[in-house]
Structure 1
């Protein structure tokens, strides 16, 4: 089968289109999926630049997100039949025999959900990682409740635009940082109550003004760096701040967070995969099932800004790394 192979770490051109062996069902609980599309996420570019989590198993096929059609099932599979349209987040971290920049994938049944019927395959492939990340950050880590106020950084981005919608579905009020007036208009379409043009105004001051000096109940940091430490001053006393990046102590400290008695949450949706936690993987599958319902009911949308054919994966990585993208990017697989 055709696949994009990474033989060494480096710039995007280390990704090459190659013929490799097609995977086969390797346990009674796995399914063979004919991939129609694969999502591209920042984790893909980081693994390409720095190396995968399993360097001893190189070369690797990247891509955590996929969508396609079930072609065959293991003898103990009960939830799917050949012909089912599915989407999932699994593989792509460097383990041999995994990855979705390819024509086929073999995935454990408990990691797969039926694709939202109203989404195309590229849209569905772009969705899983960001849906799970935003859900776990807001619902599991921050324990968001109706009526709370939320600050979401990067609201026009992949995780951010989904986080806005999930926060609104929970009955929260949302402010979000954006880099342009065009993005401000876009995030309003997703339900944001207060876009903040962070290049023109101090976002902490804007948040405090919006909340009558109290700060938000929950802040969701998708940017990291100094932004994480600055955000602590925009959260109310005894509030929550969740980040998807590792705080860098060489940049700042947690004095403000400690003074305000904030509850800190670290969100890494890859934990169940990296630690082999089946319960966590099953929980993530259930998130995809619930989100599929929201999507098909018109309560949640996925913004896909660009698609590239599998053969143009290098260009797709360059587009993601160029920054200023809105929503998601996906690969189409014929």
Structure 2
């Protein structure tokens, strides 16, 4: 089968088209999926730069996948050949990722693809949907009427988080980097959109909230953004971050004085630590998101689609910044269906 192999850690050029044996079902509850599309995430670029969690090379990256069930093990009951599915699995170094034409995984980690959603959108969805859901609904305990600040509202996780927050009835403020992203994020449900290259987001949040600040903030950028977001939170508020946090003592002192709750969202933990029950819980989240997608109230924006063999270029585009939504690869099965 066609696959993209990472043969060393480094720049995008280390991703090379290659050929691997078609994976075989090894357990009675496993399923083989013929992949159609796979999302590219910042996680993929970090693993490419630094090496996978296992350190084994060559490796196949890619945690997001969408495709058609081709074969099933003897005890599979949740799907059957011909079913259209999407999922988050593999790509961390321990199991084959989805920059390939086929993947094998347990049936417990599959969700049925929304019927009215294209392959590219389905392939783009798993990581960002699960991450935004866990961060806002589970860790952040977002409730109706709360003010929430979402950083990177035009990005992969951010544009899903804005929609999920709006669906919960929150009042949403989001940051973006560029003026041309403002209308897009307003259209997702944001009440206030701050262009960070034009405005100081702390002052803008204070003005928008009439001095009350926000009850919940989602940090998708880390570093200085995390530190300054502390200033944007109301007392007894919650700050959820996707990244490592600064060790500046002054930041933590201010967070403590405000009685903030600091939450960490790393949706990779179930795979990294072999927590199958938590992987199943995440798959249930993906199924809930599939229903929202099918009803049309949750939409995935795909900013660029490229053939699987152009994975290196896909990484370059993601790292260049400024895209709306996700970058997606597609296999030869969709080469003739650019809009799929």
Shorter-chain TM-score category? Answer: over 0.9
How far apart are residue 252 of structure 1 and its match? Answer: 6.2
1:144 corresponds to 2:142? yes
1:303 corresponds to 2:301? yes
Work out the CA distance in 1 between the residues paired with 2:60 and 2:328: 15
Work out the CA distance in 1 between the residues paired with 2:17 and 2:194: 42
How far apart are residue 253 of structure 1 and its match? Answer: 2.9
Q: Equivalent residue for 2:236?
A: 238
Q: Equivalent residue for 1:313?
A: 311
Q: Equivalent residue for 2:338?
A: none
Q: Equivalent residue for 1:4?
A: 4
Q: Equivalent residue for 1:279?
A: 277
TM-score by length of 2: 0.96
Aligned residues of 1:135 and 1:287 also touching (Cα < 8 A)? yes
Work out the CA distance in 1 between the residues paired with 2:59 and 2:15: 10
Point out the more displaced range, 102-111 or 245-254.
245-254
Any unmatched runs of 5+ in structure 2?
333-340
Aligned residues of 1:161 and 1:327 also touching (Cα < 8 A)? yes
Q: Equivalent residue for 1:28?
A: 28
Aligned residues of 2:178 and 2:322 also touching (Cα < 8 A)? no
Work out the CA distance in 2 between the residues paired with 1:145 and 1:195: 20
Work out the CA distance in 2 between the residues paired with 1:11 and 1:290: 36
Q: Equivalent residue for 2:77?
A: 78
Give the paired residue count.
332
Aligned residues of 1:37 and 1:68 also touching (Cα < 8 A)? yes
Work out the CA distance in 2 between the residues paired with 1:221 and 1:251: 19
Work out the CA distance in 2 between the residues paired with 1:254 and 1:325: 33
Aligned residues of 1:307 and 1:331 also touching (Cα < 8 A)? yes
Aligned residues of 1:23 and 1:105 also touching (Cα < 8 A)? yes
Q: Equivalent residue for 2:167?
A: 169
TM-score by length of 1: 0.98
Aligned-partner SS, 1:139: helix
Aligned-partner SS, 1:254: helix
CA deviations over 1:26-64 (Å, ceiling 9, x no partner) = 111110000001110001000000000001x32110000
Work out the CA distance in 2 between the residues paired with 1:255 and 1:52: 35
1:111 corresponds to 2:109? yes
Q: 1:21 to 1:181 in 2, by over 3 A?
A: same
Any unmatched runs of 5+ in structure 1?
none
Aligned residues of 1:225 and 1:251 also touching (Cα < 8 A)? no
Work out the CA distance in 1 between the residues paired with 2:178 and 2:13: 31
Match 1:217 to one of 202, 215, 219: 215
Work out the CA distance in 2 between the residues paired with 1:44 and 1:271: 15
Aligned residues of 2:54 and 2:92 also touching (Cα < 8 A)? yes
Work out the CA distance in 2 between the residues paired with 1:252 and 1:48: 34
Match 1:247 to one of 221, 234, 245: 245
